[in-house]
């Protein structure tokens, strides 16, 4: 859950490392640092706090063309200068940055101390640099491999040694790492944005691989230490560039990108009026699908909310019983996975530790694995048998927006596709639904028109400390996503309830003026939700409703109520449209409260720890 960069080439390393770190700051932002090799030895600069604070220190560093950098999201040890990476060995000859967790760090630390090593931080990371120090006999790559054999957990590493100028050694185990292959320079990074301004040619490291990187060369060793061919790819130039353009925040930009992102999901995936997936996207035959006993969807956070809608889609359109689990719960609940099940792991980053672990657990229990992910270079994409890419483009804001709507649409297309195979959907019905799904980009564009109105409501909502969200069926899923957005970026306490559940306890919290956001887009349950809205209004709650032309006016309005209409879309995929005013509500409430919208406190974009 940290960002790693490395540079080796002919240019000055500091500005390139700094820019790379700022491109990766979304991965963690509580402390940061850089280590350079200047020919005489290792120099480090690190601080607790944001990257902008590091800039001053960097001015004092001498010129150097090799270096590594790190931006941290603290797990072991508070955010402080001592705990910030890079960490160095006892002799100050080796420096290392790390993303991940060393699970056996306590034992290793005790052993290293007993052998005379001195520790200067509280981190789990520091054991690695001391292990490399012990293993070093003139070959950094082999020392790193030897050290990594003693580690348990997840780790992406970048290491430099004063004895091997012009070389960075990297190792990947369950945390992402790529190497940008410039003409006569290499840029190591945790994620694509950090290399894009230098090159679009990248090598993706696989688990267990170690890379020895110099200005002109890249050697990749497999887990047994044998030289192996790097997995080289060219990154898509059109959708992988992430710049704020004229938007004040990435989040607002990404909210506005949703119509295009939805259109990209559909591009080439509808043929003859029906969903179409390439063989590598969906490796199950129609026969396999017919035999499916059960689908398990595992995901976290926003992806979990999209997956709840996925369950409704798979059960209603494909007729396959579907369970959705929070990935962090799945592996510990001893799930009964009948043979011939399918597990769908949904993850924007494809690196979420809990989702990867849940996917592996299901696979070990005999399930086939399909991934819905936004990252072609992720562990999830590598490990899954079938991979459906979300094509949302890089999402930088920690609060997920376009990733959510593209997940919903990917799952909807999959459900229709599978519904045809199971025979649950007649072709005519499947065509009708597909055609409704094709309207989502335009409907999302129209939903964005609610922005000015939502902005007004948000300034009101921002004064409250508690906000409730209600809905039924998929509207409940939208409500869940809306409350997560609000709390993660505005820090307002928000909770979502299935509308019918409110009266079983939570209604006690409704006071005069309490804002309650009611989502009523599904005509089949809108009236029922409207009754629950009336129960809230009778207790003084103030209603902000999201409706469509088909569901508007379901309850008598009050002067203080606000109704926001979005286009009526295919009901089971409606969260992809109905969520838009809720994303905007969260954004403008947070703006009003002056929070750090793109980098909310305590969070990080990619959660690579359990
Ligand atoms: O990369 P993933 O989709 O696996 O991430 C899962 C969650 O961490 C993520 O959706 C998180 O909840 C978002 N920050 C919410 O906006």
What pLDDT, on the 0 to 100 scale, is given for residue 243?
64
Provide φ and ψ at 599, rounded to 5°: -135, 70
Q: Report which ligand 1 atom has the smallest distance to the Cα of 302.
A: 10
Q: What does the pLDDT look like over 294-331, one tens digit per residue?
A: 999 999 999 999 999 999 999 999 999 999 999 999 98
pLDDT in tens, 135-145: 999 999 999 99
Q: How far is the CA of 396 from the centre of ligand 1 (A)?
A: 12
Residue with tokens 């649409």: 409
Tell me: do 261 and 200 sit in the same domain: no
Does one domain contain both 406 and 548?
no
Query: Among 352, 404, 603, which is best to mutate for testing ligand 1, by the most ligand atoms less than 8 A from CB?
Result: 352
Q: How far, in Å, is the centroid of ligand 1 from the Cα of 348? A: 7
Does the residue 121 lie in any domain? Answer: yes
212 pLDDT band (50/70/90 cuts)? very high
Give me the mean pLDDT over the 216-231 stretch.
93
Considering 185, 207, 242, which residue would you say is the last residue of a domain?
242
Separation of alpha carbons 258 and 515, rounded Å: 27
Domain presence at residue 604? no
Shared-domain flag, residues 285 and 398: yes
Residue 260 sits in the same domain as residue 158: no
Which residue has its alpha carbon closest to ligand 1 atom 9?
301
Task: Report if residue 568 sits inside a domain.
Answer: yes
Residue nearest to atom 16 of ligand 1 (CA): 399
332 and 461 share a domain?
A: no
d(CA 346, CA 362) in angstroms, rounded, equals: 14
Provide the CATH number for the domain around residue 341.
3.40.50.10490
Q: What is the CATH number of the domain that holds 77?
A: 3.60.20.10
Q: Which atom of ligand 1 is nearest to the CA of 349?
A: 1
Q: For ligand 1, what atom is nearest to the CA of residue 300?
A: 6
On whether the CB atoms of residues 584 and 459 are closer than 8 A, the answer is no
Q: Measured between alpha carbons, how far is residue 61 from residues 11, 34, 38, 545 in Å?
A: 15, 10, 9, 56
Element (H, E) at 349: none
Same domain, 343 and 383: yes
Domain co-membership, 434 together with 517: no
- 505 backbone φψ class: left, alpha, beta (φ>0; ψ -120 to 50): left
Q: Which of 242, 264, 292 is the last residue of a domain?
A: 242
Residue located nearest, by CA, to atom 11 of ligand 1 = 301
Does any domain span residue 602? no
Ligand 1, atom 8, lies closest to the CA of: 301
Closest ligand 1 atom to residue 301 Cα is: 12
User: For ligand 1, which residues put their CB under 6 angstroms from it?
Assistant: 300-303, 347-349, 352, 355, 398-400, 484, 488, 606-607
Question: Distance from the CA of 403 to the center of ligand 1, in angstroms?
Answer: 9
Classify 408 in phi/psi space as left (phi over 0), alpha (psi -120 to 50) or beta. alpha
User: Residue range 55-81: average pLDDT?
Assistant: 90
Cα–Cα distance measured from residue 468 to residue 543, given in angstroms and rounded to the nearest whole number? 10
Question: Do residues 129 and 11 share a domain?
Answer: yes
| Of 250, 298, 302, best ligand 1 pocket probe by most atoms within 8 Å of the beta carbon | 302
Backbone angles phi, psi at 258, to 5 degrees: -60, -40
- Measure 430 CA to ligand 1 centroid, in angstroms: 30
pLDDT of residue 238: 54
Query: 598 in a domain, yes or no?
Result: no
pLDDT > 70: percent of the chain: 98
* Contact predicate 599/26, CB 8 Å: yes
Domain tally for the chain? 3
pLDDT of residue 241: 57
By percentage, how much of the chain surpasses pLDDT 90? 80
Distance CA 220, CA 208 (A): 10
Site to probe by mutation for ligand 1, drawn from 303, 401, 601 as the one with most ligand atoms within 8 Å of Cβ, is: 303
Asked if residue 239 has pLDDT above 60, the reply is no
Which ligand 1 atom is the nearest neighbour of the CA of 398?
14
Distance 481 CA to ligand 1 centre (A): 11
Phi-psi sector, 541: left (phi>0), alpha (psi -120 to 50), beta: beta
**pTM, full prediction:** 0.80
Q: In 3D, which of 183, 167, 187, 160 has the Cα closest to residue 18?
A: 187
User: Can you give 53-67 as a three-state secondary structure string?
Assistant: HHHHHHCCCCCCCEE
Residues of the domain holding 68: 3-242
d(CA 100, CA 94): 19
DSSP per residue over 389-407, as a string? E-------SSS-SHHHHHH
Distance 303 CA to ligand 1 centre (A): 6
pLDDT of 171 over the 70 cut: yes
pLDDT of 174 over the 90 cut: no
Q: Between 79 and 245, where is the model more confident?
A: 79
Q: Are residues 348 and 474 in the same domain?
A: no
Mean pLDDT of 403-413: 98
Question: What is the CA(482)–ligand 1 centre distance, in A?
Answer: 14
Q: Which of 242, 265, 288 is the last residue of a domain?
A: 242
Contact partners, residue 419, CB within 8 Å, separation at least 6: 317, 318, 319, 425, 430
**Catalytically annotated residues:** 2, 605
Burial class (CB in 10 A: 0-12, 13-18, 19+), 302: buried
Mark whether 412 and 288 lie in a shared domain.
yes
Question: Best mutation site among 590, 607, 608, 610 for ligand 1, i.e. most ligand atoms within 8 A of its Cβ?
Answer: 607
Residues 121 and 194 occupy one common structural domain: yes
Residue 449 near residue 566 (C-beta atoms within 8 A) = no
Given the CA of residue 403, which atom of ligand 1 is nearest to it? 3
In a domain, 432, yes or no: yes
User: Which residue minimizes the CA distance to atom 10 of ligand 1?
Assistant: 302
Same domain, 138 and 156: yes
Model confidence band, residue 74 (pLDDT cutoffs 50, 70, 90): confident
- Maximum CA pair distance of the chain? 79
- Give the pLDDT of residue 506: 85
- Does residue 207 sit within a domain? yes
pLDDT-based confidence at residue 589 (cuts at 50, 70, 90)? very high
190 found inside a domain:
yes
Residue nearest to atom 4 of ligand 1 (CA): 347
Q: How far is the CA of 80 from the centre of ligand 1 (A)?
A: 26
Taken in order 235, 238, 243, 248, is the CA torsion positive or negative? negative
The mean per-residue pLDDT over the stretch 531-554 comes to 93
């Amino acid at each position: 859950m940290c960002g790693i960069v490395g540079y080796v080439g002919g240019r000055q390393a500091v500005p390139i490392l700094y820019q790379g770190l700022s491109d990766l700051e979304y991965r963690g932002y509580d402390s940061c640092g850089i280590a350079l090799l200047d020919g005489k030895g290792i120099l480090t600069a690190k601080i607790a706090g944001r990257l902008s604070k590091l800039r001053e220190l960097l001015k004092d560093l001498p010129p150097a063309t090799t270096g590594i950098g790190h931006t941290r999201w603290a797990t072991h040890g508070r955010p402080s200068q001592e705990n910030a990476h890079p960490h160095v060995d006892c002799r100050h000859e080796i420096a290392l940055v790390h993303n991940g967790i060393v699970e056996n760090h306590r034992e290793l630390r005790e052993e290293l101390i007993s052998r005379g090593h001195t520790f200067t931080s509280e981190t789990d990371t520091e054991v690695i640099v001391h292990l490399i120090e012990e293993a070093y006999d003139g070959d950094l790559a082999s020392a790193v491999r030897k050290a990594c054999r003693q580690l348990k957990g997840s780790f992406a590493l970048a290491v430099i040694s004063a004895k091997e100028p012009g070389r960075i050694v990297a190792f990947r185990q369950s945390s992402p790492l790529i190497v940008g292959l410039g003409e006569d320079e290499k840029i190591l990074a945790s994620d694509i944005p950090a290399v894009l301004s230098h090159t679009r040619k990248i090598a993706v490291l696989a688990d267990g691989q170690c890379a020895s990187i110099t200005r002109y060369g890249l050697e990749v060793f497999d887990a047994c230490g044998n030289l192996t061919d790097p997995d080289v790819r060219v990154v898509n130039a059109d959708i992988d560039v992430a710049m704020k353009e004229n938007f004040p925040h990435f989040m607002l930009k990404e909210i506005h990108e949703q119509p295009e992102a939805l259109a990209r999901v559909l591009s080439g995936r509808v043929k003859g009026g029906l969903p179409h997936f390439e063989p590598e996207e969906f490796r199950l035959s129609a026969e396999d699908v017919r035999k499916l006993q059960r689908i398990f969807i595992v995901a976290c956070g926003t992806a979990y909310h999209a997956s709840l809608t996925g369950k409704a889609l798979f059960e209603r359109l494909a007729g396959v019983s579907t369970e959705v689990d929070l990935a962090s719960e799945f592996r510990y609940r001893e799930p009964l996975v009948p043979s011939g099940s399918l597990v769908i792991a949904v993850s924007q980053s494809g690196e979420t530790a809990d989702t990867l672990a849940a996917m592996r657990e299901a696979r070990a229990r005999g399930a086939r694995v399909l991934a819905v992910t936004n990252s072609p270079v992720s562990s999830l994409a590598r490990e899954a048998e079938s991979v459906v890419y979300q094509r949302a483009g890089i999402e930088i804001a920690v609060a997920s927006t376009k990733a959510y709507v593209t997940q919903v649409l990917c799952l909807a297309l999959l459900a229709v596709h599978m519904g045809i195979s199971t025979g649950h959907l007649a072709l005519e019905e499947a065509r009708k639904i597909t055609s409704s799904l094709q309207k989502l980009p335009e409907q999302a564009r129209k939903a964005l028109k609610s922005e000015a109105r939502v902005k007004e409501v948000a300034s009101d909502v921002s004064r409250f400390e508690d906000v409730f969200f209600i809905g039924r069926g998929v509207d409940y899923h939208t409500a869940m996503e809306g409350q997560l957005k609000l709390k993660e970026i505005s820090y307002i306490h928000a909770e979502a309830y299935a509308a019918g559940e409110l009266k079983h306890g939570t209604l006690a919290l409704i006071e005069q003026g309490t804002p309650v956001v009611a989502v009523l887009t599904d005509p089949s349950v809108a009236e029922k939700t409207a009754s629950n809205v009336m129960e809230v209004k009778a207790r003084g709650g103030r209603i902000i409703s999201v409706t469509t032309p088909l569901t508007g006016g379901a309850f008598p309005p009050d002067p203080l109520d606000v109704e926001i209409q979005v286009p009526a879309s295919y009901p089971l995929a409606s969260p992809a449209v109905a969520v838009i005013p809720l994303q905007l509500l969260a954004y403008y409430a947070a703006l009003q409260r002056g929070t750090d919208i793109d980098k909310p406190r305590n969070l990080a974009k990619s959660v690579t720890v359990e």
